[in-house]
Chain A
Amino acid sequence: MRTSVFVQAMLAAGSLAVPLMSEAASTVSTGTGALTASTSVQFQITIPQVLYLRVGTGSSYTTGVLTTTAPSATDNINFAPTAAQLSGATVAGTGGDLTGGVETAAVIGNGGTVTLGASTPGAMNDGAGDTINWSQITTASATNTTGTNLPAPVLANGASTTLTLNASSKTVYEDAKWTYTYTIAAGSPPAAGTYGGATAAQNGTVTYTAAMP
């Protein structure tokens, strides 16, 4: 019987051992005939928790770049209805990182379920007491690069209803193209003016928030 010096010692002590199969960084085996020596190495990879949200311009998440970028004027969505549309129409937007009133939207997380919400300070106004409700701004989600489209929160004056993005293997990886439109109800034309925009008091900014509970 061919055994190592180590195994021989174990057998002499009355113990039962599997020859040279214990974990080690070095082993030696001697004798006549077939010999076996085994060593083990443990591998460890630590992945931190990350949560990425993009609406509009942002880092190249499709190539793995999950970094923070500052808002850009490119992300502004503008609606300029014609006189004819004021009597009732769905108005397409302009602007957005994909142009035509379309924004890139993406959520990537690796800590389980993600919630996605949106909020506005209130109805858009023109600074003269006239308002447009955010419910008139709708968002359609269309396929971008992922198999599951990222749904868009329904905008409201104030907080929207929070959406839940279910995780697969604790990860969420969803994107979409979000197209914004402005609906003018027949018989309810807004007063002439510029609503929302960069003036904070005119409530023109939507803030999206993703969270891992």
Chain B
Amino acid sequence: MSPRRRDLHKRLGGTVLHKPDRLAGGILLCAALGAGAPSAGGFEVTIAPAAPQTIYLQVGVGTFTGYYCGNNCAAEPPPPYTPTPPLGTPGKNTTVNTVSVSVAASAVGNKTAQTMTTNSTQSTSFYDGYAFCNAPAQLYIGGFYRTTTTGTGSINVTANVPAALTDGSGDTISFGSISWTSSGNADTGSEPFPSATFTPGAVQTIGAIAQNQWAESCWTFSYANTTVPAAGTYTGTVTFTATTP
């Protein structure tokens, strides 16, 4: 893992910056720690063990009271519950975001991938409020896996992928025609939820979160557009799941 903090410096007087540039933070860290400094990469940051054991998974918009790192965003891991205010509190958001594309008539089946967009408004990370994704072009995916003790375990995040999108009239488009690229503002390395293509009709591992870690990526989807399907509006729902041992 290559944990990389975004908040590594404080304002004069001790106020923590909550939304500094991630890359700038990384440069400051390297300067401070020299050869032992973590390299830039996807955003995977260590969090402190604490009770209760918790997993939080967010794809698209989410619900969180405050930010996870509270007012300790300059520390990694952020110390649990001290000083006040405590760490942010994750919640359930019942929104189901949509990733969509409307192919132009002149482009149907022209073998040029069509970029999809989302109706998500979530660009900021609930870890620290950093503008990590670029909604609605990108879909946020992230969360944390926290246990009560230290450990080296991890949990996979899977996608339960239907075989195809359907138009309600018996016509289908394979989910294998939908791919995504993974990135994150200021990220330069591998992502915890890397680029891939859906595997139709399968439960597919799309990333992992290490024990006592927050991990996140931003996905940009595209439709392969290699065939001329029947005219219509095709829909399908993918369910993402994280399960602890």
Contact = CB atoms under 8 A, between A and B. Distances in A.
A14 interface: no
A37 B241 contact: yes
Interface in A39-62: 39-50
Interface in B218-245: 221, 223, 225-226, 228-245
Nearest to A65: B110
Contact of A6 (B92, B120, B233): B92
Interface in A143-171: 169-171
Interface residues of A, number: 44
A110 B229 contact: yes
Interface size class of B (residues with CB under 8 A): 35 or more
A6 B233 CA distance: 34
Interface string B95-114: 11111111111101111100
Interface of B: 52-64, 90-106, 108-112, 116, 120, 122, 139, 143, 165, 169-171, 173, 175, 178, 221, 223, 225-226, 228-245
Contacts of B122: 25
Contact of B143 (A36, A37, A63, A65): A37
10 contacts: A26-B58, A26-B64, A40-B96, A42-B235, A43-B100, A43-B175, A47-B230, A108-B109, A110-B228, A169-B170
A65 to B, nearest CB: 6
A173 B108 CA distance: 13
A135 interface: no
Nearest to B59: A39
Contact of B108 (A28, A40, A44, A66): A66
